[in-house]
Structure 1
Amino acid sequence: MATISKITVQKKAKQRYNVFIGKPGAERFAFSVDEAILVKYGLRKGLELDENEIKALIEADELKKTHHLALHYLSYRMRTEKEIRDYLKEKDRLDEHIEKTIVSLKAEKLIDDRAFAEAFARSKTAQTLIGPNKIRQQLLQKGVNAEAMAKALSPYQIKWQIDVLTAWLDKQERRAVNRRESNEQLKQKRTHQLLAKGFEYEAIQAALANREANEDNEWEALVYQGEKLLKSYVKKYNGRELTYKLKQALYRKGFALSKIDRFLQTEMEGEET
């Protein structure tokens, strides 16, 4: 048996206590514990402890440390179960303590993957242009299960996506100045851009289909692209070959043949046809 001879508060951690055992004047440091462990087990000067009791106290304190680490990690923002588990493993906490901590945090409603997923989706969609596929990918990385993801993403189906994309496309149209792409090029560009942001192809195409083609912008883009190509091609081609090369290049850029012919008639006047 060992007798507690002294208990002191740690200087840098006021919630932790150093426990000493032995006779007064010849005591030695035995272990340290959290204040909650000190109170729970009634540790005090003169209390006798056997070896198994000391081991149990150290075990309980290590579990408490794991729990405190998890709470500290949660203090910054909500976390998923996987995030908590990964963080505690990085801190070299025992697997047994990690599992007990996870169970405790779930009971306290401090870990709730469904609530996390719903809050995460709301926050993301409010802050930036992002679709459900991108959110699903991010939630998957955070370890959220399929059922929780499905519930969280249920408000962001096709109709929601079309409404969001239509509003975004309207804003892009108002900002557009001196556009250089054909309508077809722009459509393809927007499609790739919005797919990368996690929107579904069906919703993207529906939103794009609602757009009215801006013929003035289309013509300005054609003239810009055509004149740029002409400056380059005129150094290598002439006559019919020049006309053919220009027509082919502009068609690949998504311009309509009728508009290309109109441009060529204007620019190639005087050239051999």
Structure 2
Amino acid sequence: MKITKLEKKKRLYLMELDNQQTSYITEDTIVRFMLSKDKVVSKEELTEIQAFAQFSYGKNLALYHLSFKARTEKEVREYLKKYELDEKITSQVIANLKEDNWINDRQYAYSVINANQLSGDKGPYVLIQKLSQKGIAKSTIEDVLMDFDFSEVAQRVAEKLLKKYTGKLPARALQDKIIQNLTNKGFSYSDAKKAFDDLDSQVDQETTQELIFKELDKQYTKYARKYEGYELKQRLTQVLARKGYDFSDIASALREYL
């Protein structure tokens, strides 16, 4: 069979043979097999050319996708699926890219976790979930996590939350709020509790008193319409306890207020 045409079509080249057979091939294929017009190729050579052209096309697509940012193996596979490549070809492309370190799930996990250490706010459990969704093996993620200490991240998040809620919540409610936020972000309860305990500043007693009297002003107006005496005191105690105030602070405030 003889090549009768090699014509560029955007990213690919159209190769026509004298038996009317056509194939789309990459520039890498032309270079690898030294193809040119009027070159004679055997049936076996054509099969090899077509297989390499598919591999080269898939690799070029993957490298284009990877040129914007690092991707996991799963992300590259999903991208190549859009182009309906043969699964065998896709696997060959992935294997080649992994060999050349274009795809490295462990390195990807390390980069994400390290970036979180520097400026993020996620704990290990959330990171495991997010990286698992990108197709990285849980064992790989957990192995990488062993290189990191999350105490500084937890402390940074706790300090930020303290600034946000100080003056708005009493001490007990503030502690519950900060610990709950930290656990929601993927930190263990023990790490969250330690981060709170290590905070340099706490809500002082004066701030608590200001908050509790402000709350009493609001709740007294509401409950004094229906209750009085012991029943009023009980109602106010219950509502303040639900707001996160300690019973000792509530009792002290009510002695002064009522």
1:115 and 2:104 equivalent? Answer: no
- List gaps (5 residues or longer) in structure 1: 269-273
Relative to structure 1, the CA distance from residue 8 to residue 164 in structure 2 (aligned partners, 3 Å threshold; closer, same or farther) is closer
Asked whether the equivalents of residues 117 and 153 of structure 2 are also in contact (C-alpha less than 8 Å), the reply is no
Partner SS state of residue 48, structure 1 = coil
Residue of structure 1 in register with 2:218 after alignment: 228
Q: Would you say the 8 A contact 1:180–1:225 is kept in 2?
A: no
Is structure 2 residue 80 aligned with structure 1 residue 88?
yes
Q: How many residues align?
A: 256
Matched, 1:17 2:13: yes
Distance in 2 separating the partners of 1:205 and 1:57: 63
Change (3 A) 1:109 1:234: same
Q: 1:65 aligns with which of 54, 57, 70?
A: 57
Structure 1 residue 47 displacement after superposition: 1.8
Q: Which amino acid aligns with 1:21?
A: L
User: Structure 1 stretches (4+) deviating beyond 6 angstroms?
Assistant: none
TM-score, structure 1 normalization? 0.84
| Residues 45 and 173 of structure 1, relative CA distance in 2, 3 Å threshold | closer
* 1:18-167 paired onto structure 2 within 5 Å: 18-22=14-18, 30-157=22-149, 160-161=150-151, 163-167=152-156
Change (3 A) 1:5 1:258: closer
**Structure 1 residue 28, shift from structure 2 partner:** 5.5
Residues 247-266 of structure 1 aligned to structure 2 (within 5 Å): 247-266=237-256
> Does the alignment pair 1:187 with 2:175?
yes
Equivalent position amino acid for 1:181 in 2:
L
Contact 2:6–2:16 (Cα < 8 Å) also in 1: yes
The CA distance in 2 between the partners of 1:106 and 1:100, in whole Å, is 10
Deviation at 1:17, TM superposition (A): 2.0
The Cα of 1:52 is off from its aligned counterpart by 4.7
Structure 2: 5+ residue runs without aligned partners? none
Give RMSD over aligned pairs: 2.2
Q: Answer with 1 or 2: which has the greater Rg.
A: 1
Could you tell me which amino acid in structure 2 is paired with residue 263 of structure 1? A
**Partners of 2:7 and 2:14 within 8 A in 1:** yes
- Quick one: which amino acid aligns to residue 266 of structure 1? E
CA apart distance, 1:51: 4.5
1:199-226 residue CA offsets vs partner (Å, 9 max, x unmatched) = 1111111122234442122112212222
Matched-pair contact (CA < 8 Å) for 1:18–1:29: no
Shift of 1:165: 2.9
Residues 170, 203 of structure 2: 8 Å contact kept? no
Map Cα deviations across residues 164-218 of structure 1 (whole Å, 9 max, x no partner).
Answer: 33344344444556x2322111111111111111111111111222344421221
